[in-house]
Chain A
Amino acid sequence: RKEVEQDPGPFNVPEGATVAFNCTYSNSASQSFFWYRQDCRKEPKLLMSVYSSGNEDGRFTAQLNRASQYISLLIRDSKLSDSATYLCVVILSGSARQLTFGSGTQLTVLP
């Protein structure tokens, strides 16, 4: 079983739609969680950290469910520029600063 699992998609949604991605992690002692965004043929960039109480940044909302070991990302009012691959990232307990990446979920926002 992979340490971090994501639905690879692709998700094709119309502009303005709301879309949600989920990610599960296998290590219950995982300590830190993030969503990164990667555009085609570009490097990954931090989108947002995920806090236990949930957090919001504009149109983006991230939530963590430790009991079920999953994190989610909700994008509201999606824009064409949101088209990218979204990577779920976990720092496993005891792994210091090592990020463990999911395989990514591909999103295409259609006009």
Chain B
Amino acid sequence: DAGVIQSPRHEVTEMGQEVTLRCKPISGHDYLFWYRQTMMRGLELLIYFNNNVPIDDSGMPEDRFSAKMPNASFSTLKIQPSEPRDSAVYFCASSRQGGPYEQYFGPGTRLTVT
């Protein structure tokens, strides 16, 4: 079975540009999570969805960040405009509705904003 798929794997962009990160969860998983990881702050939950509906976005740092899940197999995290402090690894994870709490992580997108 395919795991969580994220694209792109690496993104380098200039400050002020729009960045869109993409995620395809594991088929059949009802929960989708977006995390950000930095050396200073560790792993932080940004937002999560259940059945395509955003449940908690309290971790989204600013209005510059937005996330959507138009269907069960696709989600995006958008940063507009991007800033150097957004540089981090962004992970997407998914888990099943009725199963254990284990979350399966994608390989991450390494974002560098110059």
**A 97-111 contacts with B by CB, 8 A:** 97-104
* Interface residues as binary, B18-48 with A (CB distance below 8 Å gives 1, 0 otherwise): 0000000000000101000000001101001
Q: A49-B100, A103-B42 are in contact. Are A98 and B107 (CB under 8 A)?
A: no
Distance, CA A28 to CA B47, complexed state (A): 24
Distance, CA A49 to CA B101, complexed state (A): 9
Interface contacts (Cβ under 8 Å), in number, total 39
- The B contact surface, by secondary structure, is strand
Distance, CA A43 to CA B4, complexed state (A): 11
Does B107 contact A104, Cβ atoms closer than 8 Å?
no
Does B42 contact A102, Cβ atoms closer than 8 Å?
yes
CB closest chain-B residue, reference A32: B101
Selected contact of B105 from candidates A32, A43, A91, A104, CB within 8 Å: A43
Asked if B102 is at the interface (CB within 8 A of a chain A CB), the reply is yes
Does B101 contact A91, Cβ atoms closer than 8 Å?
yes
- The A contact surface, by secondary structure, is strand
Selected contact of A43 from candidates B45, B55, B108, CB within 8 Å: B108
CB closest chain-B residue, reference A101: B43
Does A97 contact B106, Cβ atoms closer than 8 Å?
no
Q: A43-B107, A43-B108 are in contact. Are A101 and B101 (CB under 8 A)?
A: no
Distance, CA A100 to CA B42, complexed state (A): 10
Asked if A16 is at the interface (CB within 8 A of a chain B CB), the reply is no
Question: Which of A's residues lie within 8 Å of B, judged by CB?
Answer: 32, 34, 42-46, 49, 87, 91, 96-104
Question: Which of B's residues lie within 8 Å of A, judged by CB?
Answer: 31, 33, 42-43, 45, 48, 55-56, 91, 95, 100-103, 105-108
